[in-house]
Structure 1
């Protein structure tokens, strides 16, 4: 086993990950993953990852495997891996669009893409999704050495330059909806039914109206009653069955759909105490993932919400009042702009392009000693 591996630690959006060149890792997949696990400090029964560079939380225990692209329309290939602190394996089933923003910046700083003066578009082949991303990185003048900039995102204490991430449809673009229907009736354990929209683009996400559960959508974390969370868990299990995920392996992160409760626009007080008025957003959203209420709004679930807002008949679109390609989402961390352009192709909704805006910066570079 090698005694050191070149790597770069980067933050992208609300995530932090170790960026490693594929050429610096073993070719054999088992040997490669064993080495990465040692670098990250997993598995660790305590969950702290004290003997590695992992951050002890899912959001800060991620890896990005980078290689030069063999595709003529892409600069690099980016493969995302989730390294849970206590797990003995790496989950490659999902995708992190937060780290995709960092991947565009990494490509420029590593000389894998040619930098333009004002803004550079880095074309990335996202191996997990088998789709193409365009990451629009500000030029040198807009990207100060310290990473400060003009926008703030939830969970990150400093501002940064805006990096737009576009997810593009390819020749075999996946459908947006799990059942090709804008909404479905889910049957719960007590015989009641809940109307939900099941979006599979981004992360598989179940959208329900807050009013169906006696909520407004602006409740703080302590405002969620245990009975309500149990009921929403039933919705997740019913939605997973509709999505064909109920029998998926437990190691597959996409086997666990997120559920998003949406409500009408209202005042949002972010983590810094700033108030965002209703007119600054189109709706509110609260995300629950793996039975945990998220402190902010995951990027892949935000993409799913943008898609739902653009499709007539979803619970999201009905709440807004009309299909919209560009919306602002109010959530616990503030307000997030989103964009999705969809079309109906032979009865199936396809997203030609979705966009989310993040920030990113390099935290450190050097060698990791496994």
Structure 2
């Protein structure tokens, strides 16, 4: 036999794509599993394109998802997310992808892992196993299938779809926390921390654990205005190196890595680094003009060493939570309105998010954060993996 054939589904969730697997079709040994998934996605690729695999050569398209029935009474399925490095043999299982979270419910329904009504709204209770967090997905159904067509517009996606609402429950709580997770909403105990970053300087940052561990800084800390697009950031190696240095030192401060070097080598996916600024006019990547009166602030986020083309789903969650709490880098720029929502501009357009947070005995408690996404099944069948080489 020249190749292995492994059942898989290629799915879009939000502004990301990934290869989805049922847990029972993959090796149980983590090393063997990761070697297999690296070969499936086409990593590591010294050319950075992943031509010989299912990855798309970007942080938004080099992703894998594993789903199984849950043994937990409070969940329907368990969900693992892997951020696959393009040029190194690393899969980072330390965080979540909020975009692909939108595709977990439809995948689980189509695979028969959960029961769903033929029509109406299916509620899928997801245990995000990387972080030990609950996500509730509200999936519209039609004739026994997850509905994909609709008029919900998501900036960063060319076509409209059916809206899937995601509730990230207690995104900063310590229930289910594992050794790879940060503790508490603000792991350093303060809402704004000064990071002393060699070669960069003293950086004021909000280190927050919501959605994914995230480091928020003011755009001016990187000499930026906040309205930059990928073409303005990603070709600038010096700028990317400074951003990575800040992210890596944030990881150390949050207790996620022993050193900045370790964070860069072994934990490229989390924490995320995002920069924000006051609302300003700019032209999004599709040519659409964004006006300051349409948004409360502008935000950009790095993912796997590159500026993201839109906004990560978990970055949106972290931003919503940071905006809801006074005296963070985000809320000092744009506190949420009376409805608890915050509107922000990203490279592909705009997004509205919200979080429920309240102060209790001097500590801030986040009940949930809510974002809307869409998802679609792109291809189903088997992925083929050569038996020779790194997998055999």
Do the structures match in fold with TM over 0.5? Answer: yes
Measure, in 2, the Cα distance between the counterparts of 1:69 and 1:290. Answer: 29
Residues 1:310 and 2:321 are matched in the alignment? no
Residues 1:356 and 2:371 are matched in the alignment? yes
Please report how far the alpha carbon of residue 229 of structure 1 lies from its aligned counterpart in structure 2 after TM superposition: 6.0
Q: Flag the 1:142–1:310 CA change in 2: closer, same or farther, 3 A.
A: farther
Measure, in 1, the Cα distance between the counterparts of 2:36 and 2:237. Answer: 41
Asked whether the 8 Å contact 2:229–2:285 carries over to 1, the reply is no
| Greater Cα offset, 264-273 or 98-107 | 264-273
Measure, in 1, the Cα distance between the counterparts of 2:70 and 2:64. Answer: 18
Q: Flag the 1:195–1:142 CA change in 2: closer, same or farther, 3 A.
A: farther
Q: Flag the 1:11–1:219 CA change in 2: closer, same or farther, 3 A.
A: closer
Residues 1:169 and 2:167 are matched in the alignment? no
Residues 1:154 and 2:168 are matched in the alignment? no
Asked whether the 8 Å contact 2:59–2:304 carries over to 1, the reply is no
Structure 2 residue matching 1:72: 3-state secondary structure: coil
Residues 1:82 and 2:71 are matched in the alignment? no
Aligned to 1:339: 354
Deviation string for 1:24-75 (max 9, x for gaps)?
1223333333332332233333333333322233321211111111112211
Asked whether the 8 Å contact 1:175–1:350 carries over to 2, the reply is no
Please report how far the alpha carbon of residue 281 of structure 1 lies from its aligned counterpart in structure 2 after TM superposition: 1.5
Please report how far the alpha carbon of residue 336 of structure 1 lies from its aligned counterpart in structure 2 after TM superposition: 0.8
Asked whether the 8 Å contact 1:122–1:137 carries over to 2, the reply is yes
Asked whether the 8 Å contact 2:200–2:242 carries over to 1, the reply is no
Structure 1 residue matching 2:356: 3-state secondary structure: strand
Measure, in 2, the Cα distance between the counterparts of 1:214 and 1:51. Answer: 38
Aligned to 1:197: 206
Count of aligned residue pairs for this structure pair: 368
Question: What aligned pairs does 1:108-127 form with structure 2 within 5 A after superposition?
Answer: 108-116=109-117, 117-127=119-129
Aligned to 2:247: 236
| Greater Cα offset, 92-101 or 317-326 | 317-326
Measure, in 1, the Cα distance between the counterparts of 2:374 and 2:40. Answer: 25
Aligned to 2:293: 279
Measure, in 2, the Cα distance between the counterparts of 1:185 and 1:289. Answer: 22
Asked whether the 8 Å contact 1:237–1:246 carries over to 2, the reply is no
Q: CA RMSD in A?
A: 2.9
Please report how far the alpha carbon of residue 168 of structure 1 lies from its aligned counterpart in structure 2 after TM superposition: 0.9
Asked whether the 8 Å contact 1:268–1:332 carries over to 2, the reply is no
| Greater Cα offset, 333-342 or 20-29 | 20-29
Residues 1:134 and 2:145 are matched in the alignment? no
Deviation string for 1:63-113 (max 9, x for gaps)?
111111111221111111122233334321121111110011111222222
Deviation string for 1:323-355 (max 9, x for gaps)?
873211111111111111123355443322112
Structure 2 residue matching 1:159: 3-state secondary structure: coil
Normalising by structure 2, report the TM-score: 0.83
Measure, in 1, the Cα distance between the counterparts of 2:6 and 2:206. Answer: 44
Residues 1:14 and 2:29 are matched in the alignment? no
| Greater Cα offset, 325-334 or 171-180 | 171-180
Please report how far the alpha carbon of residue 213 of structure 1 lies from its aligned counterpart in structure 2 after TM superposition: 5.7
| Greater Cα offset, 258-267 or 11-20 | 258-267
Aligned to 1:206: 215
Measure, in 1, the Cα distance between the counterparts of 2:21 and 2:48. Answer: 23
Aligned to 1:48: 49
Residues 1:297 and 2:311 are matched in the alignment? yes
Please report how far the alpha carbon of residue 228 of structure 1 lies from its aligned counterpart in structure 2 after TM superposition: 6.3
Unaligned runs of 5+ in 1: none
Please report how far the alpha carbon of residue 211 of structure 1 lies from its aligned counterpart in structure 2 after TM superposition: 4.8
Unaligned runs of 5+ in 2: 176-182, 386-392
| Greater Cα offset, 120-129 or 231-240 | 231-240
Aligned to 2:343: 328
Residues 1:264 and 2:278 are matched in the alignment? yes
Measure, in 2, the Cα distance between the counterparts of 1:231 and 1:22. Answer: 38
Measure, in 2, the Cα distance between the counterparts of 1:320 and 1:213. Answer: 20
